[in-house]
């Protein structure tokens, strides 16, 4: 769906994207991570055909970015989505449907789907940020898209709406739709993305499935134990005492099985155990820092 | 419905809802009414019909007001969408940028034509109250309306070019006002100064017809003896290098040129 090789984009003397290789397959979700200005939005704009790359190979839905077939097959939700305030939600979505070559009648179903059915005939100027974001998602879903490009899609949504938003995205993913999304909400992406790509100052510093990234980063796993015999465990395994009954330990990723074995062989009772794998935010911080140290 | 019609319908809807037609039409109507009322009581020894006198007054009114209304409407079309963040989404749709421009142009032209119709209808009501217009009178009013719409179309297209060029909305507003001031007000003043000091005398007729506002004025003030008499045009103007019908082509030429420039600027604009 997206196949990009050696992508370079410069604005004047500034290199915004520097030799990016990335791909997103059918039914796959790739999270694009990076600080503001890392090149995420420029990458998305190139995928959408809004900006031309200076060099590199870009294949979107089997051809050049920005051609009519590619634009018909892509649903895009920009960061800070805006619509004309004078038009109602229904009028806005009907216009979007017609511009995508679809029947205006599709708008009603989409509005219901994003739970805007009751507000459909109110002007967009009366909508909250969350409602505008849902209207934005509805327009991105017009016409059975094959690729969804979502730039910070959940900013401004409350936790319930975020959950609903991702359930719709999951449904499309299940139908084979490829998804490229960027977000600063790393924790919520963790369970919902297949792969992550971390950009830093226009360079790709890490890319892969979360399990691969964990392996590459080799960040320690945090283990928190609670026991009546915490002093004895502390003497044998070390670690950091949290309070009278708890202890925090770390173990290397590759040693996790051996560590578990050592725990079970302890001659004391363990009341509780919390196993903290490095999260996406830990991985992001690690690779971002590593990328910054490279020449 | 195709993309041009969809965009045009949207613009029409927005223009109607934000009362643009009403405000534009009311501004034109109030001024046209005043002129029609003044024109309906002609004094002195001018042997001109009431319609001819009102046509002259309305022509002058349109020369100033129509470009201003068109520029107000068009200068925000591209840069405004860009600043509001709505342009980026539109450009990702399977919609050619030319279609977007032509759609906006069609919608705005419809709004402008509606406002002009309201304005001219008010003047027409006064004329009808006083006398039954002749076929010639209807022709004068029809010609005025049609040429005013064409003049508006030229300035709409110029407004899009400004909107495609400007970095932000305030720059677009300043450029639009500058264009109005130079082409509608200052251009004629400079021509008159040049003429009064015997400079550019040979080029004067050409310089006159190349300005869209003056071409519009000449279209409406020539061809009918009564109007020429009412405007004093017959005595004041040198021979024109082009026949009056060709003046329509001058306006059409400006329209095509400005639309082409606006289209080029929109193609090059990054969302």
- Tell me the average pLDDT across A37-65: 92
Q: Dump strand ranges (E) for chain B.
A: none
Position B1 confidence tier, pLDDT thresholds 50, 70, 90: low
C-alpha to C-alpha distance for A196 and A207, rounded to whole angstroms: 6
Mutate to test the interface with B, among A84, A141, A152 (most CBs of B within 10 A): A84
How far, in Å, are A19, A122, A198, B152 from residue A5 at the CA level? 7, 45, 16, 49
Q: Where are the alpha helices (DSSP H) in chain A?
A: 40-48, 68-73, 89-99, 106-113, 129-140, 159-174, 186-190, 210-217, 230-237, 256-264, 280-293
Q: Is the confidence at residue B41, as pLDDT, over 90? A: no
- Tell me the average pLDDT across A97-121: 94
- Tell me the average pLDDT across B150-156: 98
% of chain B at pLDDT higher than 70: 89
| 0.95 surpassed by pTM | no
Contact, B18 vs A86, CB < 8 A? yes
Q: Is the confidence at residue A293, as pLDDT, over 70? A: no
Whole-number average pLDDT of chain A? 89
- Residues in chain A, total: 295
Q: Is the confidence at residue B191, as pLDDT, over 90? A: no
Q: Where are the alpha helices (DSSP H) in B93-186?
A: 97-130, 135-165, 169-180
pLDDT in tens, A2-46: 999 999 999 999 999 999 999 999 999 999 998 888 899 999 999
Q: What is residue B245's predicted lDDT score, i.e. its pLDDT?
A: 82
Closest-CA residue in chain B for A70? B94
C-alpha to C-alpha distance for B121 and B113, rounded to whole angstroms: 12
Q: How many CB atoms lie within 10 A of CB A170?
A: 12
Q: How many CB atoms lie within 10 A of CB A73?
A: 19
Long-range contacts, stretch A99-104, CB < 8 angstroms, 24+ apart: A99/B3, A99/B6, A99/B7, A99/B90, A99/B93, A99/B94, A99/B95, A100/A72, A100/A142, A100/A143, A100/B93, A100/B94, A101/A72, A101/A143, A101/B94, A102/A142, A102/A143
Q: What is residue B208's predicted lDDT score, i.e. its pLDDT?
A: 84
Judging contacts by C-beta atoms under 8 Å, the chain A residues touching residue B13 are 86-87, 91
Question: With an 8 Å Cβ cutoff, are B85 and A78 in contact?
Answer: yes
Q: What is residue B230's predicted lDDT score, i.e. its pLDDT?
A: 61
Contact, A135 vs A93, CB < 8 A? yes
Which residue among A84, A98, A100 places its CB closest to the CB of B86? A84
Position B238 confidence tier, pLDDT thresholds 50, 70, 90: low
Q: A91 CB near a chain B CB, below 8 Å?
A: yes
| More reliable by pLDDT, B200 or A275 | A275
C-alpha to C-alpha distance for A200 and B122, rounded to whole angstroms: 64
DSSP conformation class of A268: S
Question: With an 8 Å Cβ cutoff, are A49 and B93 in contact?
Answer: no
Q: Closest Cα of chain A to B79: distance in Å?
A: 14
Position B226 confidence tier, pLDDT thresholds 50, 70, 90: low
User: What is the predicted ipTM?
Assistant: 0.83
C-alpha to C-alpha distance for A168 and A164, rounded to whole angstroms: 6
Position A53 confidence tier, pLDDT thresholds 50, 70, 90: very high
| More reliable by pLDDT, B33 or B49 | B33
- The per-residue DSSP string of B147-168 comes to HHHHHHHHHHHHHHHHHHH-SS
Instruction: Give residues 17 to 56 of B whose Cβ lies within 8 Å of A.
Output: 17-18
Q: What is residue B184's predicted lDDT score, i.e. its pLDDT?
A: 94
Nearest CA-CA partner of B142 in B79, B204, B51, B228: B51
Strands A29-33 and A272-276: unpaired
Whole-number average pLDDT of chain B? 86
Which residue among B18, B88, B94 places its CB closest to the CB of A78? B88
Question: With an 8 Å Cβ cutoff, are A50 and B270 in contact?
Answer: yes
User: For residues B87, B92, B98 and B101, what is the CA-based torsion angle, rounded to 10 degrees?
Assistant: -20
Q: A96 CB near a chain B CB, below 8 Å?
A: yes
pLDDT in tens, A201-218: 899 988 888 888 888 888
- Is the sign of the CA dihedral A88, A92, A93, A97 positive or negative? positive
Burial of A132 by CB count in 10 Å (0-12 exposed, 13-18 middle, 19+ buried)?
buried
Q: B267 CB near a chain A CB, below 8 Å?
A: no
User: For residues A34, A39, A41 and A44, what is the CA-based torsion angle, rounded to 10 degrees?
Assistant: -110
Q: Is the confidence at residue B158, as pLDDT, over 60? A: yes
Contact, B240 vs B218, CB < 8 A? yes
* CB-facing half-sphere around the CA of B248: CA atoms within 13 A: 9
- Tell me the average pLDDT across A146-172: 88
Judging contacts by C-beta atoms under 8 Å, the chain A residues touching residue B270 are 50-51
Mutate to test the interface with B, among A98, A141, A150 (most CBs of B within 10 A): A98
The torsion angles phi and psi of A22, rounded to 5 degrees, stand at -150, 150
Q: How many CB atoms lie within 10 A of CB B229?
A: 18
Strands laid side by side in the A74-77 sheet:
A74-77, A147-151, A178-182, A29-33, A195-200, A203-209
pLDDT in tens, A231-266: 888 888 888 888 778 899 888 878 888 888 888 888
Judging contacts by C-beta atoms under 8 Å, the chain B residues touching residue A82 are 84-86, 89
Cβ-based neighbours of A224, under 8 Å, separated by 6 or more: A242, A246, A247, A248, A249, A273, A274, A276
Burial of B135 by CB count in 10 Å (0-12 exposed, 13-18 middle, 19+ buried)?
exposed
- Tell me the average pLDDT across A140-164: 89
Widest distance between CA atoms in chain B: 65
Nearest CA-CA partner of B123 in B70, B72, B67, B53: B53
Contact, A36 vs A56, CB < 8 A? no
Size of interface A-B (CB pairs under 8 A): 61
Judging contacts by C-beta atoms under 8 Å, the chain A residues touching residue B1 are 98
Question: With an 8 Å Cβ cutoff, are A84 and B91 in contact?
Answer: no
pLDDT in tens, B67-85: 999 999 999 999 999 998 8
Cβ-based neighbours of B26, under 8 Å, separated by 6 or more: B118
| Highest CATH level, class, for A2-214 | alpha beta
Question: With an 8 Å Cβ cutoff, are A99 and B90 in contact?
Answer: yes
Q: What is residue B40's predicted lDDT score, i.e. its pLDDT?
A: 59
Q: What is residue A108's predicted lDDT score, i.e. its pLDDT?
A: 95
Closest-CA residue in chain A for B91? A50
Question: With an 8 Å Cβ cutoff, are B93 and A78 in contact?
Answer: no
Question: With an 8 Å Cβ cutoff, are B94 and A96 in contact?
Answer: no
Question: With an 8 Å Cβ cutoff, are A76 and B1 in contact?
Answer: no
Q: A80 CB near a chain B CB, below 8 Å?
A: yes
């Amino acid at each position: 769906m997206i196949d990009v090789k050696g992508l370079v984009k410069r604005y004047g003397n500034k290199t915004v994207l520097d030799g990016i290789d990335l791909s997103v397959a059918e039914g796959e979700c790739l999270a694009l991570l990076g600080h503001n200005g890392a090149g995420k939005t420029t990458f998305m704009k190139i995928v959408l055909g809004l900006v031309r790359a200076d060099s590199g190979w870009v294949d979107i839905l089997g051809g050049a970015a920005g051609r009519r077939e590619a634009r018909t097959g892509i649903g895009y939700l920009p960061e800070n989505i805006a619509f004309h305030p004078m038009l109602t939600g229904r009028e806005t979505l009907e216009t979007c449907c017609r511009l995508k070559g679809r029947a205006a009648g599709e708008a009603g179903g989409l509005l219901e789907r994003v739970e805007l059915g009751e507000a459909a005939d109110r002007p967009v100027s009366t909508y909250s940020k969350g409602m505008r974001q849902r209207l934005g998602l509805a327009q991105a879903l017009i016409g059975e898209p094959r690729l969804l490009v979502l730039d910070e899609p959940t900013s401004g949504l409350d936790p319930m709406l975020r959950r609903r938003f991702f359930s719709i995205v999951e449904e499309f993913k299940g139908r084979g739709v490829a998804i490229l999304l960027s977000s600063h909400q790393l924790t919520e992406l963790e369970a919902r993305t297949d792969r992550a790509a971390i950009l830093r100052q226009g360079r790709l510093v890490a890319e892969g499935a979360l399990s691969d990234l964990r392996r590459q980063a080799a960040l320690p796993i945090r283990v928190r134990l609670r026991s009546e015999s915490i002093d004895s465990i502390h003497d044998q395994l070390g670690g950091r005492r949290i309070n009278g009954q708890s202890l925090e330990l770390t173990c290397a990723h590759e040693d996790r099985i051996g560590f578990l074995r050592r725990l079970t062989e302890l001659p004391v009772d363990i009341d509780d155990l919390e196993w903290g794998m490095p999260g996406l935010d830990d991985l992001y911080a690690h690779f971002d820092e590593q990328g910054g140290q490279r020449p | 419905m195709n993309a041009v019609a969809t965009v045009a319908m949207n613009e029409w809807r927005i223009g109607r809802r934000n009362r643009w037609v009403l405000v534009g039409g009311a501004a034109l109507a109030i001024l046209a009414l005043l002129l029609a009322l003044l024109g309906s009581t002609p004094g002195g020894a001018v042997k001109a019909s009431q319609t001819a006198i009102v046509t002259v007054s309305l022509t002058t009114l349109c020369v100033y007001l129509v470009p201003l209304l068109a520029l107000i409407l068009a200068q925000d079309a591209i840069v405004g969408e860009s600043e509001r963040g709505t342009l980026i989404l539109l450009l990702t749709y399977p919609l050619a940028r030319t279609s977007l421009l032509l759609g906006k142009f069609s919608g705005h032209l419809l709004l402008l034509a509606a406002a002009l119709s309201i304005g001219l209808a008010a003047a027409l009501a006064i004329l009808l109250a006083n006398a039954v217009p002749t076929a010639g009178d209807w022709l004068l009013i029809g010609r005025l309306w049609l040429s005013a719409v064409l003049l508006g179309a030229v300035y709409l297209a110029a407004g899009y070019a400004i909107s495609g060029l400007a970095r932000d909305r305030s720059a677009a507003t300043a450029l639009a006002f500058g264009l109005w001031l130079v082409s509608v007000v200052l251009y004629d003043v400079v021509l008159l100064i040049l003429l009064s000091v015997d400079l550019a005398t040979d080029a004067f007729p050409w310089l006159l017809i190349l300005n869209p506002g003056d071409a519009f004025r000449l279209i409406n003030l020539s061809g009918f003896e009564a109007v020429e008499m009412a405007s004093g045009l017959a005595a004041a103007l040198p021979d024109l290098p082009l026949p009056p019908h060709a003046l329509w082509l001058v306006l059409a030429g400006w329209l095509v040129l400005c639309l082409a420039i606006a289209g080029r600027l929109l193609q090059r604009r990054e969302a």
